[in-house]
Amino acid sequence: MSGVDRPVTPPLDEHPGLPAPVGPMAITRRRFLELSLAGATALTVGRHIAVAAERVAAAEASFTISDTQWETFLAVCEAFVGDDPDFPKPASIAKMRPLLEDQLSHMVAADRDQFLQLLTLMQYSTLPYKFSRLSKLPVAERQEALVGWRDSSITLRRQAFTALKMTTSVVYFAADETWKPIGYEGPWLELARIPALDPPPLSYYPDDKGKAPKMADLARGHKP
């Protein structure tokens, strides 16, 4: 028999020797295979997403800054604080490093990596003309270097200066040792005395007709 005359075998789900699907829940074999493939694909993708999320969470939970990065951050922070005797030196605040690590752990991984790269860049940016790393320079010369970035005609350098200033400010003023010089007494929820209010009597609640008292009446303690 030639290839032209060869009978075409019907698909499995249309084969006359197989019983036809019965009932509203019946599906064809082809449809079953399609659904199985889609389900397996969804499970695989979901598993990869879950594993990636677990890795990110673990990396953020255990994040620590290196000694070199901490040295650079401290040098930049000291330059911003300056020699004002009313403000404590960043190096004297024991919780500064944990505060920085906590701040970085809550950043998006890409932003955190860029900030750490910026610290490395700042550390060695003074080598070409000062022949010394930033952290080894006197505070006045560090300030001079930062001012150069602030007033630069290059947008990226100005953005880098802003990122350094904002991050150091957030971390430095998160320490309670720095609150007194700026007149901040601490979180108000820990200091304020909030009077406790007795619950209103049952007569103040809506009746069976859905009528509710006015807020002004509740505040004055009067019945509606």
Structure tokens at 64: 């620590």
Q: Is 101 exposed, middle or buried (0-12, 13-18, 19+ CB in 10 A)?
A: middle
Q: pLDDT of the chain along its 224 residues, tens only? A: 555 555 555 444 454 444 555 555 555 666 656 666 666 666 665 666 655 565 555 455 557 889 999 999 999 999 999 988 899 999 999 999 999 999 998 888 889 999 999 999 999 999 988 899 999 999 999 999 999 999 999 999 999 999 999 999 999 999 999 998 888 887 776 555 666 666 656 555 555 555 555 555 545 554 54
Fill in the amino acid letter for 139.
V
3-state DSSP percent of the chain in helix, strand and coil, to 5: 60, 0, 40
Structure tokens at 171: 């971390």
Cβ-contact 118, 164 below 8 angstroms? yes
Task: Give the separation between CA 176 and CA 170, rounded to whole angstroms.
Answer: 12
Q: What are phi and psi of 17, to 5 degrees?
A: -80, -10
Q: What are phi and psi of 170, to 5 degrees?
A: -60, -45
Which residue is listed with tokens 């701040």? 103
Q: What are the residue ranges spanned by the domains of the chain?
A: 25-62, 67-183
- As a whole number of angstroms, the longest Cα–Cα distance in the chain is 104
Task: Give the separation between CA 149 and CA 210, rounded to whole angstroms.
Answer: 65
Structure tokens at 156: 């990226």
Cβ-contact 89, 81 below 8 angstroms? yes
- Whole-number pLDDT of residue 18: 45
